[in-house]
Amino acid sequence: MTQTLESPVTTGPAARWLTDFEAALSARDIPAAAGMFATPSFWRDLVSFSWNLTTVEDPDGVTDLLENTLDRTDPRGFILAEPEETTDGVTTAWFDFETAVGRGHGLLRLKDEDGQQKAWTMLTTLQELKGHEEPRGLRRPKGAQHGIDRNRQTWAEKRRQEAETLGLTEQPYALIVGGGQGGIALGARLRQLGVPALVIDRHARPGDQWRGRYKSLCLHDPVWYDHLPYLKFPDNWPVFAPKDKIGDWLEFYTQVMEVPYWSATTATTSAYDEGSGTWTVEVERAGEKLTLHPTQLVMATGMSGKPNIPDFPGMDVFTGEQHHSSQHPGPDAYAGKRVVVIGSNNSAFDICGALWEHGADVTMVQRSSTHIVKSDSLMEIGLGDLYSERALAAGVTTEKADLIFASLPYRIMHEFQVPLYEQMAERDKDFYERLEGAGFWHDWGDDGSGLFMKYLRRGSGYYIDVGAAELVANGDVKLAHGEVSHLTEDAVVLADGTSLPADLVVYATGYGSMNGWAADLISQEVADRVGKCWGLGSGTTKDPGPWEGEQRNMWKPTQVEQLWFMGGNLHQSRHYSLYLALQLKARYEGIPTPVYRLQEVHHLR
C-alpha cells in the first residue's frame, strides 16, 4: 500500500484525536476530554495550561487540571506539526496549539484501550507569549539603524549605558544569584525576552565556576547533550569538553548573548519587603557594598553548589591538608603524598585517578554503595537515541530530543531505564566482576534503573567511568570501607578502627539541597517554607516520598512567591531556562499566572 492510502496527515489516529480533543475543549466538555485519556496516562504540562511544571495522571487527573485551567487557558488550534508515526502499537505525534496568551508545542502518544485510541502520554509546553515573541530569525534585530537620527546611540554606547545604570540607578526586575551555566542560560533567555535581569556571581570571570575545579575535569556528559540556548557548540567541539574550554565558552557566551553580568559580586543578605513587593538584596561588588531591589529573586547557585563539609572529630587536630572536593586544586602538588579521599562518587573517582596518575599514594574510602557506568556504554545505550551524531542524522535535533525526554513521565521513567542498564551490565560484565572482586560496593539503584534516575532522584550516588574505576578494580587506588570515626594528627580512622595515614584528606562528600542557599542568604524560615529542592519523591534512597511528580522546587513556583530555583546540568539549564524565563516574562508583563497545584513542602532539606 502506498503511504498516501495509509496515513494522510489529516486522518491518522493522532490527527483525529487532536481534532476531537479540541472539540471537547472548545465545548468545555471536560468529561469528554478526560475520557480520551487511557488508564494509566500522563499529561505533563510545562507552563502552557498550569503556569507550573506539573504532571497529572489518568482521566481523573486530566479532569482536575481542566477544571482548574480550561476557561482561562482557552486552548485551540491543535494541529499536527509533522506526520504522525505508529510503531509497536503506539502512535506518536508532534503538535502545535495556542492558548489565550501564547503558542505551544507538544508530543502525544496514543495507545489502544478497549478498541479506542487514547492518550497514553501527552506533553504540552508553552513556547512563546503572544505579542512577546523573541527577536530571532525573521524577527531578528536590524542592528544598523538605517536612516538619519541626530540622537543615535551606537550599540557600544547602549551597552555602556546599560552597564552604568542597571543595578545602580535602574533596578533589575529579576536578580539571578549565581552565574554558572544555569544563571547564564536564564540570563540569555531573559535578555531575549526583554526582561531586565542581572546575573551576579562571586567569581572573577564567567566560566570560573568550571575553571576553578580540579584540573583533569572534563564534562561527563557528551556535547550533544550540553548545548546552551541559541548558540550550539560547533561540530568540531570535543565530545567531552575540558573544563577550561567550557569555561571559556561560558564567558564568551555571556558576552555574545549580552547577558548583564556582575562578576566578583557576592550577595550577603536578602529580605522580602512587603511594602514595595520587592526583595532587598545586599551585595558586595568588587569590595563595594550595594543594595539591589529586584522583584524576582532566582537562586542559580547550582544543585552542586553548596558543599556538604563533614564535621568529623579530629578535623581540627589533623595537621595535613584537608579540603572539600570542590576546593581540590588538582594533583600536581601531591606526587609521593598519601591521600585519603572520603567518598566514592564522580568527584572522588576523578580526583583519585588524577592523583594516582601523578604518583600519589591514594586510598578511597567508600561509605555506601555507588553505581558506576562506563562512559562509552552510557553514551551509546543511554543517550545515543536522543543525543548523538546518530540522533542528529535521524532528524532528532537537540530541541526535539529535549522534548522527547521531557515527554517521558517521571512516574514510569524507571521502567524505560531498567532495560538499558541491563544491557550495560551485560556489555561490561567483566568490568563489574573485576570491580566487585576488588571489594567495591556496586549498585544499580534501588530498582535497577541506573544513573539517570539516581541523578533525578537524589543527584548523587554514581560515577560515569572515564577510566579511574579500573584503578580501583586493579588495586592501584586502595579501597577502604565504612564511616569515618575521627581524624588524628596524621591519619583518618574508620569506624572499624582502620587507620589510614594521610598527608591530604579530600572530602568528596557531595552537596546539600539548594534551599540551604536560601537559608544562608535570606533566612532559615524562608528556606523551610521553600523546603527541599531536587528529587521526585520516589521513596528510594535519599529521595523520600510522597510522590511529587516533578523535581521539587526547580524552575517553577515555590511556596515563597517571587523566589525561584534554577539549576541542573547543561541539558536542564538549556531546556528549563525557557520555561522559567516565560514564567518570569509573564509576571513582568502583568499577564495573570494562576498556578495550578502549587507544590507542597514535605521535607526541609
Selected binder of its own copies within 244, 284, 422, 443 (CB under 8 A): 244
Selected binder of its own copies within 22, 29, 64, 248 (CB under 8 A): 248
Sign of torsion over alpha carbons 45, 48, 53, 56? negative
Cα separation values, 447 from 159, 201, 237, 346, 392, Å: 53, 39, 36, 21, 31
The three cell numbers of residue 112 are: 489502544
Which has the closest alpha carbon to 565: 602, 522, 597, 507? 522
| Residue 149 binds its own copies (CB under 8 A) | yes
- The minimum distance between CB 248 and its own copies, in angstroms, equals 6
On the question of a cis peptide bond just before residue 40, with omega within 30 degrees of 0, the verdict is: yes
CA distance 605 to 591: 33
| Residue 152 binds its own copies (CB under 8 A) | yes
- The minimum distance between CB 156 and its own copies, in angstroms, equals 4
Nearer to its own copies, 113 or 244 (CB): 244
| Residue 147 binds its own copies (CB under 8 A) | yes
Site stretch for its own copies (CB under 8 A), options 87-95, 97-105, 238-246, 427-435 = 238-246
- The minimum distance between CB 19 and its own copies, in angstroms, equals 28
Site stretch for its own copies (CB under 8 A), options 199-207, 464-472, 511-519, 528-536 = 464-472
3-state secondary structure at position 146: coil
| Residue 238 binds its own copies (CB under 8 A) | yes
Cβ of 36: how many Cβ atoms within 10 Å? 21
| Residue 41 binds its own copies (CB under 8 A) | no
The three cell numbers of residue 449 are: 534503573
Element (H, E) at 158: helix 155-165
Nearer to its own copies, 116 or 474 (CB): 474
Residues numbered 336-365 forming contacts with its own copies, rule: CB under 8 A: 353-354, 356-359
Residues numbered 476-535 forming contacts with its own copies, rule: CB under 8 A: 476
CA distance 17 to 281: 50
- The minimum distance between CB 139 and its own copies, in angstroms, equals 9
| Residue 397 binds its own copies (CB under 8 A) | no
Residues 6+ apart with CB under 8 A from 416: 408
Selected binder of its own copies within 471, 519, 560, 566 (CB under 8 A): 471
Selected binder of its own copies within 57, 84, 134, 550 (CB under 8 A): 134
The three cell numbers of residue 550 are: 516533578
| Residue 249 binds its own copies (CB under 8 A) | yes
CA distance 579 to 551: 14
| Residue 133 binds its own copies (CB under 8 A) | no
E-state strands within 316-385: 321-324, 338-342, 361-366, 371-374
Selected binder of its own copies within 3, 5, 148, 169 (CB under 8 A): 148
E-state strands within 509-595: 563-565
Residues 6+ apart with CB under 8 A from 283: 200, 262, 265, 266, 267, 268, 289, 290, 291, 292
| Residue 192 binds its own copies (CB under 8 A) | yes
Which has the closest alpha carbon to 324: 213, 466, 244? 213
Selected binder of its own copies within 156, 169, 316, 497 (CB under 8 A): 156
Nearer to its own copies, 137 or 497 (CB): 137
| Residue 462 binds its own copies (CB under 8 A) | no
Site stretch for its own copies (CB under 8 A), options 41-49, 138-146, 339-347, 588-596 = 138-146
| Number of residues located near its own copies, criterion CB under 8 A | 61
Cα separation values, 278 from 79, 167, 393, 558, 598, Å: 41, 14, 48, 16, 21
- Indicate the Cα dihedral angle 15, 405, 187, 395, nearest 10°: -70
Nearer to its own copies, 23 or 231 (CB): 231
| Residue 146 binds its own copies (CB under 8 A) | yes
Element (H, E) at 576: helix 570-588
| Residue 8 binds its own copies (CB under 8 A) | no
Instruction: Give the pairing of strands 504-507 and 321-324.
Output: parallel
Q: How many residues are recorded in the chain?
A: 605
Nearer to its own copies, 473 or 521 (CB): 473
In sequence order, the β-bridge partners of residue 445 are none
Site stretch for its own copies (CB under 8 A), options 85-93, 145-153, 271-279, 338-346 = 145-153
- The minimum distance between CB 3 and its own copies, in angstroms, equals 13
Buried b (16+ CB within 10 A) or exposed e, 46-56: bbbbbbbbbbb
Nearer to its own copies, 159 or 411 (CB): 159
| Residue 466 binds its own copies (CB under 8 A) | yes
Nearer to its own copies, 372 or 471 (CB): 471
Selected binder of its own copies within 5, 142, 274, 316 (CB under 8 A): 142
- The minimum distance between CB 154 and its own copies, in angstroms, equals 5
The three cell numbers of residue 245 are: 574550554
Q: How far apart are the first and last CA of the chain?
A: 59
- The minimum distance between CB 250 and its own copies, in angstroms, equals 11
- The minimum distance between CB 344 and its own copies, in angstroms, equals 17
- The minimum distance between CB 136 and its own copies, in angstroms, equals 5
| Residue 256 binds its own copies (CB under 8 A) | yes
- The minimum distance between CB 259 and its own copies, in angstroms, equals 12
- The minimum distance between CB 159 and its own copies, in angstroms, equals 8
CA distance 127 to 579: 8
Residues 6+ apart with CB under 8 A from 404: 107, 386, 396
Nearer to its own copies, 438 or 466 (CB): 466
The three cell numbers of residue 147 are: 536612516
Cα separation values, 492 from 312, 362, 364, 483, 489, Å: 10, 13, 11, 10, 9
CA distance 452 to 422: 14
The three cell numbers of residue 46 are: 510545562
Nearer to its own copies, 157 or 600 (CB): 157
| Residue 237 binds its own copies (CB under 8 A) | yes
Nearer to its own copies, 136 or 605 (CB): 136
Site of interaction with its own copies (CB under 8 A): 134-138, 140-144, 146-150, 152, 154-157, 159, 192, 215-216, 218-219, 223, 230-231, 234-242, 244-245, 248-249, 252, 255-257, 353-354, 356-359, 375-376, 389, 466-468, 470-471, 476
